Amino acid sequence: MSMTPSAAFTPSAPPQRKKHRTLAQGVVEHITASIHGGALKPGDKLPTESAIMEQYGVSRTVVREALSHLQAGGWVQTRHGIGTFVIERAAAPLGINAESIITVLDVLAMLELRISMEAEAAWLAASRRSEAQVVELGKILDAMRRSVARGSPAVEADVQFHLLIAQATGNRYFVEILSQLGTTIIPRARVNMPRIVHDNPAAYLQRVIHEHEDIYNAILRRDPEAARAAMRTHLSNSRERLREAQQQLEAAKA
């Protein structure tokens, strides 16, 4: 794969700031359009954060949010100390465009899908898991705790936790679906959850950890009903917090 320098990327115009669309989403749309149009090809290096800030007239926070969406959508890959590069994007046979899951309503829809799917996955995992899998699940939970203690949102460990539960079902289709969705299965990878629900970030993440502990303990005990209930509670809590926040946003616009 070649690594074309960022100078080769010459955008036509900054993204329009459409009503009800975030600045980050505008940057995402313009960069993905450049990829679709061939201005950016696999292996090409994106401009630096500072260059993107100047190019689009946005803050560093907006740029980093946009890059996070692009990474989650499988458009780019960041190599620490080197830069961010366009990558070959895997086909999406389910028709789910990960980069489009940005708004609160998008995340709510994803949570509805996950509740119906992952509650049953947890039931199966508690019934079928191996000793090695439950040990690995415990290690991932410990990694989540360490990340949260450092102030990190622990998104990657969270994804691994849910993927391992899918693997413990023994049903490859659960794994394939969650793998394709990537970090879009984690709401805080798409939206700033504590800010939206007006919550303290540390307190929010501690609740998330406790919910994962309940899931883990049920799978450890081989209690399918408790595992299903814990997973449903975990995902339903996220949905309800977001639903209330969305109602508040809509009321403020009225």
Domain spanning 98-253, CATH class: mainly alpha
pLDDT score of 92: 53
pLDDT score of 191: 52
Is the distance from CB of 141 to CB of 96 less than 8 angstroms?
A: no
Q: What does the angle CA 11 – CA 181 – CA 16 come to, to the nearest 5 degrees?
A: 25
Per-residue pLDDT of the chain (254 residues; tens, 9 = 90+): 444 444 445 444 444 444 324 688 778 878 887 887 778 888 899 999 999 999 889 999 989 888 887 887 778 888 878 889 998 866 555 555 555 565 667 778 888 888 999 999 999 999 999 999 999 999 999 999 998 888 887 878 888 899 899 999 999 888 878 877 766 666 555 555 555 555 677 888 888 899 999 999 999 999 999 999 999 999 998 888 778 767 776 776 66
Classify the C-alpha dihedral 18-93-106-62 as positive or negative.
negative
Q: Does domain 6-86 have CATH number 1.10.10.10?
A: yes
pLDDT score of 123: 98
pLDDT score of 13: 45
Inter-residue long-range contacts of 235-238, CB under 8 Å, 24+ positions, other chains counted: 235/111, 235/114, 235/115, 235/118, 235/119, 236/115, 237/207, 237/211, 238/111, 238/187, 238/193
CATH 1.10.10.10 domain position(s) in the chain? 6-86
pLDDT score of 113: 87
Residues 193, 194, 195, 200, Cα dihedral to 10°: 180
pLDDT score of 142: 94
What is each CA distance from 68 to 120, 169, 193, 246, in whole angstroms?
30, 30, 15, 22
Element (DSSP H or E) covering residue 253: helix 224-253
pLDDT score of 193: 55
pLDDT score of 110: 82
State pTM to two decimals: 0.59
CATH 1.20.120.530 domain position(s) in the chain? 98-253
**Rounded to whole angstroms, how far apart are CA atoms 192 and 213?**
23
pLDDT score of 20: 29
**Rounded to whole angstroms, how far apart are CA atoms 112 and 114?**
5
